[in-house]
Structure 1
Amino acid sequence: MSNEREYYQVKITLNDIKPAIWRRVLVPSGITFHKFHKVIQAAFDWQDYHLFSFQFPDFLIKEPDMEFQLHEDERHPKRTKIDTVFNQHKTFIYEYDFGDSWQHKVVVEKIVIVDEEKHTPICIDGAKNRPPEDVGGPDGYEEFRKVISDPTHEDYNFMLLWAEKDTGGRKFDPNYFYLNEINRKLNRIKC
């Protein structure tokens, strides 16, 4: 019995950050945008405690607000599958944390056939560590990097200690990218 399945190869790049922070991920077909959100969270090691949306030219995919129903141009992520949308839109924006406004450019590169028993997402490449949660968006991250690159800065130790909430106690390194660690996180997402 074959375990072959179509996967989408997508490249996800965090906007407004230089050098680029990005991931190339194989995503199983047939999943919802809610599951795709979980894939992006794991691939970047975000903590998943902020709101998110997928932005397309003529509609949004987002969680409904408790007080308001979805508008005509909004779709629910648990009810919208990636396949139909990916066939129509090869590039779109995923936004995480509307305060810091982390916008990720998503590019659907191609469809590949993967023979994989568990049908989990797979990161095949990437670069750089994502910014700490709640650092203040791209401008805040730039300031954070400036502080942690100067051991004589008065906030150097404070900022590194503060960032440990995201690193599990490891010293924050903007260049850190460990493919096996990301794939361990992605392996928990069953598709």
Structure 2
Amino acid sequence: MPIKTKRTYYQLQITLQHIEPPIWRRMLVPGGITFHKLHKIIQAAFDWQDYHEYSFQFEDFLVILPNPDFQFHETEKNPKKFKLEQVIDEYCQFTYEYDFGDGWEHEMIFEKAVQLEEEVHHPVCLDGERHRPPEDVGGPGGYEEFLRVIRDPEDEDHDHMLLWAEKDTGGRKFDPEYFYRQAANRKLAKITC
């Protein structure tokens, strides 16, 4: 009989900042992953489109892709080489920023480490609430204005904004309260770790 091995997973609470009520996900992510893989996991869990730059911000360093136009600073780490397990014990809270123009900051909180059977080879979304804002809506302030417009059928931009947001929903009407965990987990199952 084969011996079942266990793998360490990290339970993370990820909350989009500056938006009320909160938009959040609780995740199990495999140990040993790079920050670039963690970026891909967050993109899938929140259903972001993954066409903007990103970084992970810690108290005394930054995890960010090198830019050929600028010198890589000694306090910067390459997300394709730097691994989550290198810092998770020391830093139980940090920030993930996606889209430097809109400035979507996600608070990352390490809750605990768990051991899972090795048959699980991908991240898992345990829970969450609410749909993330549409891409390129203009940050938290733009999203607040977007919500005001789509909640007012009399607003002259109402229909246009709902139609514009369908680029992010696959043709479904945008619903800020919508979150379907099974759909997130289908996307996450495609990310092997």
- CA drift of 1:69 comes to 3.3
The 2-side partners of 1:74 and 1:24 are apart by 27
> Aligned Cα RMSD in Å?
0.9
Residues 103 and 139 in structure 2, CA contact (< 8 A), matched pair in contact too: yes
Do residues 115 (structure 1) and 122 (structure 2) align?
no
Determine the structure 2 residue equivalent to 1:133.
Answer: 135
Question: Secondary structure, in 3 states, of the residue corresponding to 1:87?
Answer: coil
Equivalences, count: 191
Determine the structure 1 residue equivalent to 2:53.
Answer: 51
* Matched AA of 1:90: C
Determine the structure 1 residue equivalent to 2:23.
Answer: 21
**Alignment CA distance shift 1:116-1:19 (3 Å):** farther
Deviations 1:94-150 (A, max 9, x none): 000000000000000000112251410000000000000000000000000000111
Q: For structure 1, list consecutive stretches of 5 or more residues without a partner in the other structure.
A: none
The 1-side partners of 2:190 and 2:72 are apart by 30
Determine the structure 2 residue equivalent to 1:94.
Answer: 96
The 2-side partners of 1:148 and 1:3 are apart by 50
Deviations 1:32-86 (A, max 9, x none): 0000000100010000000000000100000111212310110000110100111
- CA drift of 1:4 comes to 2.2
The 2-side partners of 1:116 and 1:130 are apart by 31
Q: For structure 2, list consecutive stretches of 5 or more residues without a partner in the other structure.
A: none
Give the ranges of 4+ consecutive aligned residues of structure 1 lying more than 2 Å apart after TM superposition.
none
Question: Secondary structure, in 3 states, of the residue corresponding to 2:89?
Answer: helix
Residues 4 and 118 in structure 2, CA contact (< 8 A), matched pair in contact too: no
Do residues 62 (structure 1) and 59 (structure 2) align?
no
* Matched AA of 1:145: L
The 1-side partners of 2:154 and 2:52 are apart by 33
The 2-side partners of 1:173 and 1:87 are apart by 37
Identity value in percent: 61
Question: Secondary structure, in 3 states, of the residue corresponding to 1:119?
Answer: coil
Residues 118 and 190 in structure 1, CA contact (< 8 A), matched pair in contact too: no
